[in-house]
Amino acid sequence: MEKNILIAIFILFALLSLLSDPFWSAFFSLVFIYIACSEMWSFMISKVNLLSLGQQAFIGLGGYTLAVSSVYYDLPIPFGILMSACVAGIFTILELPPLLRLRGIYFAVGSWLFSEIIHLIFINWEFVHAGRGMAVPKAYGMSPTITYFMALCVAIISVSVIYFLSKSKTGLALRSIGENEMTALSIGINSFKYRGFCFFIASLITGLAGGVYYTMRPYVIPWEAFGIQWTIGFAFASIIGGSGTLLGPVIGSIIHVSLIHALAGFTIIAPLIDVIVVIIVLFVFPKGIWGTIAEKMRFKLT
Amino acid sequence: MPDPLVLLSSILIEGIILGGFYSLVGLGFSQIFGIMRVMNLAHGDFIILASYLFALFAQVLTNPFLAFIVVAPLMFMIGYLYQNVLNKMIYKDSSAILLITICFGVALENILLLIFTPNPRNLCPSYLLGGIDLLGVSVRKSLLVAFSGSIATFVLLFLFFKRTYIGKAIIAASDDRLTAMLMGINPPKIYRYGMGICMVIAAVTGLMVAINYLFDPSAGTSYLMIAFGTLVIGGIGSLLGTFLGGFVLGISQTLTANLIGTSYQLVGGYIIILIFMLLRPQGLFGRKE
């Protein structure tokens, strides 16, 4: 059921590109970025209990990789976006050994600490123009349709990776870790390896999304790229929609991006309303919109 | 290049003075975690909120230290109400409560931004400007005030936990909630007092931040990271651990500032936190859980 709805939604998204209206294509591209990342965020927390507050590190790394590969190495944009995912992956491999030793809320703040370290390094690093930010010259004047489809691709990759992972043998192992880690360990599941794998996949997709985002908005500034508001946004999207479901983050992302656009003139009030809505949702219906509907209608969730 | 011995002693003295201040930053945070097992990610923003309250009342009362009489009860009330909200969630879901605290932090930051604009401020009174010669090293007067304020707060908190009824009840509720309930203690109520007291500590911290550094609404994150660092280095719920954790952070920061450069000062502290996470995850004085 959920799968069919998702396929219908993505076909609809692909058809929407025929509108070729600049406002709506920018709007939906941002929705796709949020779908890709918040799917990954909710995947990590619902399957293996990894609450990450450091996703913004990968967005920022993705954006900076794109900028550096475009300014210094003259690489074409698609190649730069692939490089974004690689750099995010390499960074994850470096940060995983200390990070995976931490549990629960320690892990959450630990991942935030890593993103703060990388933020401080980028603020001081003259190679990436320190705090002044970098432009992505090649991304200027790119057709909105191309970025639209790139963003759509990232969203589809993200959703389908989660779908097929959940169906596979690895998915079973992940689910057992999420439900009871001690039992999973006792039947020979290497929880260290599987949790690391989840975080790694999430970082790849988030890095990819970061690269695509900065082709749409071709100027990378440290405080914006490495800001905690990214992760808050992903958390917002997955909690409102229903964390742990496939459709939930899609609904949540649409609501979140609509809120951003509706309040575009009020840069300070928008995050305020964001977090107030999250607090209310967490208290009133913690399962989110889709989670609550699916429970009422007895849909089977993946 | 100065004489290495002189350099070393100056790094040590600066680090210890700075470390005392960092212990104070970490104290409120680590006590909240020790008592309620809630990682209050809004703590940095509460510290900055206190700084702004001091800025507000210092205009009326002419002196930031005098304003403490007004700000401390105010922060206690804020903490009491804050814990009222958190209590509804406290035994249910630890990641939901983490998200709620971070949402409160972001909300607070934006409210401050709305009211006080992003211009950085400082409250240092003129008689605290300049430095004092301490064993051949010049130390800022305001930082010395922060150091002594920190030690005073630690001693007072220690006495509070040992001598008063509420202090003992807080310790009991954090050690073993069920037994405490059997002894007639009401943990949610005690938690409200505990959060209020931690917010008074945040008020002291906010005062020290305000007289020592420039602060703006988004400064909370770096203080939160320092607080997290003292918690990781010192171990959960240990006063002595938090105290020493601050010193470790302070010395590692002055070390990086002197050897590499002041712009990498914070990175040095963060890397020490990481090393502790890797080698001694339970902290200096923590129990293994």
The interface predicted TM-score (ipTM) is 0.78
- The CATH number of the domain covering residues in B4-116+131-279: 1.10.3470
- pLDDT of the residue at A301: 64
pLDDT of residue B78: 94
C-alpha to C-alpha distances, A171 to A156, A256, B255, nearest whole angstrom: 19, 29, 47
Comparing alpha-carbon positions, the chain B residue that sits nearest to A280 is B100
Q: Which helix (H) or strand (E) holds B157?
A: helix B141-163
Of the candidates B240, B245, B188, which has an alpha carbon nearest to the alpha carbon of residue B38?
A: B188
The C-alpha atoms of residue A24 and residue A148 are separated, in whole angstroms, by: 10
Nearest CA in chain A to B38: A105
What is the model's pLDDT at position B23? 93
Cβ atoms of B30 and B233 within 8 Å: the answer is no
Calpha distance B235→B287 (Å, rounded)? 7
Q: Can you tell me the distance from the alpha carbon of B118 to that of B112, in angstroms, rounded to the nearest whole number?
A: 8
Instruction: Tell me the chain B residues in contact with residue A235 when contact means C-beta distances shorter than 8 Å.
Output: 99
Q: Enter the tokens of residue A109.
A: 């703040």
H helix intervals, A136-244: 144-167, 169-179, 181-186, 191-216, 222-225, 229-241
Question: What is the structure's pLDDT at B286?
Answer: 67
Tens of pLDDT along A20-63?
777 888 888 999 999 999 999 999 988 888 888 889 999 999 99
**Residue A265, CA atoms < 13 Å, CB-side half-sphere:** 1
- What is the model's pTM? 0.85
Residue B141 has which token pair? 């007067």
Subunit contact A279:B221, Cβ cutoff 8 A: no
Which of B81, B103, B249, B266 is most worth mutating to test chain A (most A CB atoms within 10 A of its CB)? B103
Tens of pLDDT, residues A97-123 = 888 888 777 888 889 889 988 998 898
CA angle B146, B147, B149 (to 5 degrees): 60
Identify the sign of the CA torsion B199, B200, B205, B207: positive
pLDDT value for B25:
92
pLDDT computed for residue B9 by the predictor: 83
Give yes or no for A286 touching B (CB within 8 A). yes
Do the Cβ atoms of B41 and B102 come closer than 8 Å? yes
The pLDDT, as a whole number, for residue A106 is 80
B287 burial class (0-12, 13-18, 19+ CB within 10 angstroms)?
Answer: exposed
pLDDT tens per residue across span B18-62: 999 999 999 999 989 888 888 888 999 999 999 999 998 988 888
Domain ranges of chain B: 4-116+131-279
- Which member of A105, A123, A279 has the closest CB to residue B39? A105
Structure tokens at A271: 């995050």
Question: Which residues from chain B sit within 8 angstroms of residue A104, using beta carbons?
Answer: 94-95
Can you give the pLDDT at residue B160?
A: 92
How close are the terminal C-alpha atoms of chain B, in Å? 47
> What gap in Å lies between CA A279 and CA B288, rounded to an integer?
33
The two tokens of residue B286 are 């923590």
Spell out, as residue ranges, where chain B has pLDDT lower than 70: 1-2, 286-289
DSSP, residue by residue, B206-242:
HHHHHHHS-B-GGGHHHHHHHHHHHHHHH-TT-HHHH
What residues in B contact A275, CB-CB < 8 Å?
A: 103-104, 106-107
Tell me if B95 and A98 make a contact (CB, 8 A cut-off).
Answer: no
Q: What is the CA radius of gyration of chain A?
A: 19
Give the model confidence (pLDDT) of B202-218 as tens digits. Answer: 999 999 999 988 898 88
Q: Are B48 and B219 in contact (CB under 8 A)?
A: yes
From residue B225, give the alpha-carbon distance in Å to each of B114, B198, B256. Answer: 24, 17, 17
Q: Would you call A87 exposed, middle or buried from its count of C-beta atoms within 10 A (0-12, 13-18, 19+)?
A: buried
Element (H, E) at B134: strand B131-134
Per-residue pLDDT of chain A (302 residues; tens, 9 = 90+): 778 888 888 888 888 877 777 788 888 899 999 999 999 999 998 888 888 888 999 999 999 999 999 888 888 888 989 999 999 999 999 988 888 888 777 888 889 889 988 998 898 888 888 878 888 888 787 888 888 889 999 999 999 999 999 889 888 888 888 888 888 888 888 888 899 999 999 999 999 999 999 998 888 888 888 888 888 889 888 888 888 888 889 999 998 888 888 877 676 777 788 788 888 888 888 788 888 888 887 776 65
Contact A283 B267 (CB under 8 A): no
Burial of B281 (0-12, 13-18, 19+ CB in 10 A): middle
Instruction: Give the side-chain half-sphere CA count within 13 A for A71.
Output: 17
Q: How many angstroms separate the Cα of B172 from the Cα of each of A162, B177, B285?
A: 45, 7, 19
Positive or negative: CA dihedral A278, A239, A153, A80: positive
Positive or negative: CA dihedral B261, B263, B269, B275? negative
C-beta atoms of B264 and A275 within 8 A? no
Provide, as residue numbers in chain A, all residues whose Cβ is less than 8 Å from the Cβ of B273: 113
Judged by a CB distance cut-off of 8 A, whether residue A117 touches chain B is yes
B107·A283 Cβ contact <8 A: no
d(CA B256, CA B265): 5
Among A116, A272, A274, the residue with its CB nearest the CB of B225 is A116
Q: Are A251 and A294 in contact (CB under 8 A)?
A: no
